[in-house]
Amino acid sequence: MGVDYYNILKVNRNATGDDLKKSYRRLAMIWHPDKNVNKKEAEAKFKQISEAYDVLSDPQKRQIYDLYGEEGLKSGQFTPPARTTRNRHQGFHYNHQQHPNPNFRFNPRNADDIYAEIFGENSNGNASSSSNGGGIRRDGYFRNQTMNNGEGARKATPLENVLVCGLEELYSGATRKMKISRNVFDGHGKPHLVEEIVTIDIKPGWKKGTKITFPEKGNEEPGIIPADLIFVLDERPHPVYTRDGNDLIVNQEITLLESLTGKTVELTTLDGRSIMVPLTEIIKPGHEVVVPNEGMPISKDPSKKGSLRIQIDVKYPKRLTEVQKYELRRVLGGNA
């Protein structure tokens, strides 16, 4: 018993070219590897569907298959029919039927080529991000194509979710794995709930509002292109640092004495390093010290960073004794 291409494509023995193309469209949308968690199973089914379409849509291949089955088609060994021969697909064939080309050799077409021919050109990739570079993706699944006998398919409204990240993740980069649930159609066209894990590679320097898009990862519905699943990045407040674009801001309080005599500020960076920033000048309230290249990575070029801005507040004593006042006037040049 060989492969039953008619059963694979879910068509009858008298299927026309339009019937074959319509069935191929439906099954290819269900079993394209880009749209299934079990890539290995989906790839095998996708190739099987493509091979069935390749054979049945080609008049010569279909004739040989109908007469001699899969083995005869692929081996090229055609046993001359007797006066009548029974074929499991189409009953009796009489000896007046045209004999296939003896020089025929089965040469299957590439599954991706068939898909591209039926659905048109698409782009390729995985998840894409916007507002900070990212990429452009081909999902391989009825994007920029027509359905329902040429009528354009409506696409569902995008589904947005907030992805909250700490400044440490946005400084060094991180990987998040998110579990999603959605309805998909199985090989028999029946919907069922599946759970998937999507991976988000957080790039150093990404900002609040960055969108990470997984094209068409929403629920599947008949005649509707699934919605894009979008994660919108948000920043979790940090106990020490505040972000301002590519800069980091930290508030530092020093005493009046330190503002006059100097101080070394010690800070721990978002990637765990310790840096020392000496204050050697007289510091006035509201003074800002800028440390270049110690801010957030710049997403387009993570080798470069913004600045660290230390905003200094001077803490004045609540009261002074008469002796302290006298000493200050003397030291600062006032009248004793």
**What does the chain come to in residues?**
336
- Under the banding of pLDDT at 50, 70 and 90, the label for residue 125 is very low
pLDDT of residue 122: 40
Pairing of strands 128-130, 211-214: antiparallel
At residue 72, φ and ψ (nearest 5 deg) are -65, -40
Evaluate whether 69 touches 88 at the Cβ level (below 8 Å).
yes
Pairing of strands 211-214, 229-235: antiparallel
> In one letter, which amino acid is 281?
E
The residue that leads in pLDDT, 69 or 268, is 268
The residue that leads in pLDDT, 31 or 145, is 31
Give the mean pLDDT of 229-237: 94
Nearest to 188 by CA among 22, 27, 5: 27
* Percent of the chain predicted with pLDDT > 90: 38
Q: Which of 38-52, 136-150, 205-219, 225-239 shows the lowest per-residue confidence on average (mean pLDDT)?
A: 136-150
pLDDT of residue 183: 84
Q: Is 281 in a helix, a strand, or coil? A: coil
> In one letter, which amino acid is 265?
V
Specify the pTM.
0.54
Q: What is the CATH superfamily name and number for domain 122-235?
A: Urease metallochaperone UreE, N-terminal domain (2.60.260.20)
Beta bridge partners of 198: 178
- Under the banding of pLDDT at 50, 70 and 90, the label for residue 177 is very high
pLDDT of residue 121: 45
Q: Is 18 in a helix, a strand, or coil? A: helix
Q: Is 231 in a helix, a strand, or coil? A: strand
* Res. 268: pLDDT tops 60: yes
C-beta neighbour count of 311 within 10 angstroms = 14
* Res. 279: pLDDT tops 60: yes
The class (CATH top level) of 5-116 is: mainly alpha
Domains 122-235 and 241-332 share a fold: yes
- Under the banding of pLDDT at 50, 70 and 90, the label for residue 138 is very low
The class (CATH top level) of 241-332 is: mainly beta
* Res. 30: pLDDT tops 70: yes
